[in-house]
Chains A and B, each alone.
Chain A
């Protein structure tokens, strides 16, 4: 009963945050609100007993990505341009996709159903035998690090690849870690930036 009330409260807050994000034009406020949204999602994962996922969501969604977004805001404008196109087509696309996803959930087993396919395949073996085979009280760690160690190696490689990609895109030559002393490129980007950013900058200046 209490859990249901907490769930309703969290969902209401998430909905309110999402609507506020939609309506705001100040990107700084949008970044802050998306951090709050992540924190609410993390609380939601806690009520679903997925504390490991909640931990990740709180650390990455509410923490790191907010900081990175603010770092990006320092490079671009802080106000969103008023969209020139009508929101009708995106609204229809999002509405149809959302309706299809909700329709798909009707086929899903009830939350926590013991006869759900996910609970019948390998889950019983992990829950029953993992303590004898791996010896860890936290079954999540046993599955992630041992039974599914291959997948986790892939995930770490994904993070490695992401860091390499950001280094290639934003980093400069060797020994030039800030990536700002690359004169010809920096000049070209500055010119491009001036062309592309002239509108939001002037708009932001006008309103501020």
Chain B
């Protein structure tokens, strides 16, 4: 793909907007369609587009596989950790009501955090799977 100037220029233009849209979907999921899962996939597609156009080696420099692997686990830990935070604060597992001063405030905070965990795991998992498939040679 190194010789396709149009593809390179257009994807350079598009990638920031794809990432911005992923963040919008992530944090606007409370109010409109979307959420962590969709946002994670969109965020991963930005990295995958970069890898397709600029080569796998450059994509690995942007998103080091070691860091991405840790992020796969970090998302699940963030999610489960929010559950345990509810336990420590005297509620049930994954009970967000006790996380803040008011129940509705706690729900807001809890949903924001667990959606972030979902997005992290999904994005990192998709990038990992793409790296592994694309990194194999015939």
B105-138 interface (Cβ within 8 A of A): 107-108, 110-111, 114-115, 117-118, 121-122, 124-126, 128-138
Contact of B45 among A64, A159, A177 (CB under 8 A): A64
1/0 per residue, CB under 8 A from B, across A144-187: the answer is 11100110110111011011101100110000011110000000
1/0 per residue, CB under 8 A from B, across A42-61: the answer is 00000000011011100110
Name the distance in Å between B69's Cβ and chain A's nearest Cβ: 7
List, in ascending order, chain A residues with CB within 8 A of B111's CB. 134, 136, 141-142, 145-146
Name the distance in Å between A158's Cβ and chain B's nearest Cβ: 10
1/0 per residue, CB under 8 A from B, across A119-138: the answer is 00000000000001111111
With known contacts A135-B108, A180-B136, A63–B41 Cβ distance under 8 A: yes
Q: Is A140 located at the chain interface by the 8 A CB criterion? A: yes
How many chain B residues touch A (CB < 8 A): the figure is: 56
With known contacts A177-B60, A177-B65, A180-B137, A138–B31 Cβ distance under 8 A: yes
Q: How far is the CA of A157 from the CA of B125 in the complex (A)?
A: 11
Asked if residues B44 and A156 are in contact (CB atoms below 8 Å), the reply is: no
Asked if residues B117 and A156 are in contact (CB atoms below 8 Å), the reply is: yes
Interface of chain A: mostly helix, strand, loop or mixed:
helix
Asked if residues B136 and A55 are in contact (CB atoms below 8 Å), the reply is: no
Q: How far is the CA of A74 from the CA of B51 in the complex (A)?
A: 15
Contact of A56 among B30, B38, B66, B96 (CB under 8 A): B38
Query: Nearest A residue to B93 by beta-carbon distance?
Result: A150
Query: Nearest B residue to A170 by beta-carbon distance?
Result: B132
Asked if residues A75 and B138 are in contact (CB atoms below 8 Å), the reply is: yes
Asked if residues B135 and A178 are in contact (CB atoms below 8 Å), the reply is: yes
Q: Is A5 located at the chain interface by the 8 A CB criterion? A: no
Contact of A160 among B32, B34, B76, B136 (CB under 8 A): B76
B63-103 interface (Cβ within 8 A of A): 65-66, 69, 72-73, 75-76, 79-80, 83, 93-94, 96, 103
A-B contacts, CB under 8 A, total: 154
Q: A137-B30, A162-B129, A164-B72 are in contact. List 6 more A-B contacts (CB 8 A).
A: A64-B126, A64-B130, A136-B107, A156-B76, A159-B121, A178-B136
In order of increasing CB-CB distance, the 9 nearest A-B pairs are A163-B125, A178-B135, A177-B65, A51-B33, A135-B104, A71-B133, A59-B41, A170-B132, A145-B111
The residues of A with any CB-CB pair to B shorter than 8 Å are 51-52, 54-56, 59-60, 63-64, 67-68, 71-72, 74-75, 132-138, 140-142, 144-146, 149-150, 152-153, 155-157, 159-160, 162-164, 166-167, 170-171, 177-180, 193
The residues of B with any CB-CB pair to A shorter than 8 Å are 25, 29-35, 37-38, 41-42, 44-45, 48, 52, 60, 65-66, 69, 72-73, 75-76, 79-80, 83, 93-94, 96, 103-104, 107-108, 110-111, 114-115, 117-118, 121-122, 124-126, 128-138
